[in-house]
Every structure is written in C-alpha cells, then in structure tokens.
Amino acid sequence: MSLPPADMLPELAEWNNGKGIDLESWIACSGDFRTAIGYSTVFWPRFVLFEDYILREGFTPESVRGFEVQHKCDKRSVEAVVNHLHIADIQFHGCGDITEQRVVFLGRILKEIYEAKLAWQFPARPCEVSFYEPEDRTDLIGFQITFWQKKHVEPDGAGNSHRAGQ
C-alpha cells in the first residue's frame, strides 16, 4: 500500500478515534464522485496525436504554431511546453494545504502514470516524461511535469544528443 506524504500522517492518524486511517479509506470518507471525475482528467489524461506531436487534449493548433515559431520548430521543446503541467495548478482554487511534500508526491505519481499511459497508448512512439523539481524547494509553482517523444531528441554522428530541429 502506498504511504502518503509524511506531512499527512498526523491528520490521518486522528481519524477513527485515533486508530488512524489509510489513504483509500480516507478518500471513502472525504471524497466525492464529482471531484474524482475531475481529477481523472489529470490522473488519466487524454493524449492525442496532432501531426507529428503527442499532446495533452485541450491544446489549440494556434498555440502549437506559436510555440513552433518561438522555439524555431524544435519539436521536443514544442511538445514539452505544450504538455507541461504545474503540479500546484491541480489544487482547488484557494486551497491552503499545498506543501512541498505533497507536490513532490503527486508529481512523482503523475510521472509514473504518464509513462504508463503514453507507453500503452503510443507504443511505437516512445516518450520521455520529466518531473522537474526546482532547486528552490519553496517555489511550489516550479514543480512541473511534461513529456516529449524521444525521437525528437536525436544523437548526432558523434553520439552527442541534440534537439531535433536545431
């Protein structure tokens, strides 16, 4: 069973007359179907193939074109920027319980989910999933997840990696 972030343990220990509660039992007491349905878009996102890109559902072709210009047609950079998600952005508006431990926990879980979903949905298009953790651990907005297709980062003749399109 997955252990929650350490900073949630005291709260979970208070449940059940001090006997404590695990995460699955806690969501049975605290969650609701509307919220679960909403979170499904984050925890099992829809990915689509658009031209030679794999993108999270909800992008606009105009935004892709703008990033192509901005990133000089570097497909890796375009995919990475269009697909990025700040972990802090998935919280409820005005929610005050965000912490570094919780953001890291969710980011690492989302990395695993994205890796599994992309490999399942696009087996012929391997992707690299990145969970960025900023050096400044107090910068909770800086924690983000993104992905790009590995073929967009190609080795040159000397074996050095470079971004495709540069």
Give how far the C-alpha of residue 64 lies from the chain's centroid of Cα atoms, to the nearest Å: 19
Same domain, 58 and 106: yes
In the chain, the number of structural domains is: 2
Task: Render pLDDT for 74-118 as a digit per residue (tens, 0 to 9).
Answer: 999 999 999 999 999 887 666 778 999 999 999 999 999 999 999
Q: Calculate mean pLDDT across residues 24-52.
A: 91
Same domain, 101 and 140: yes
Give how far the C-alpha of residue 46 lies from the chain's centroid of Cα atoms, to the nearest Å: 12
> Does 37 reside within a domain?
no
The alpha carbon torsion through 103, 147, 40, 120 (nearest 10 deg) reads: -130
Which domain covers residue 24, as residue numbers? 1-31
Same domain, 5 and 76: no
Same domain, 21 and 60: no
Angle separating helix axes 33-43 and 100-121, nearest 10 degrees: 70
Task: Render pLDDT for 41-81 as a digit per residue (tens, 0 to 9).
Answer: 999 999 999 999 999 999 999 999 999 999 998 999 999 99
At 149 the three-state DSSP class reads: strand
Same domain, 74 and 16: no
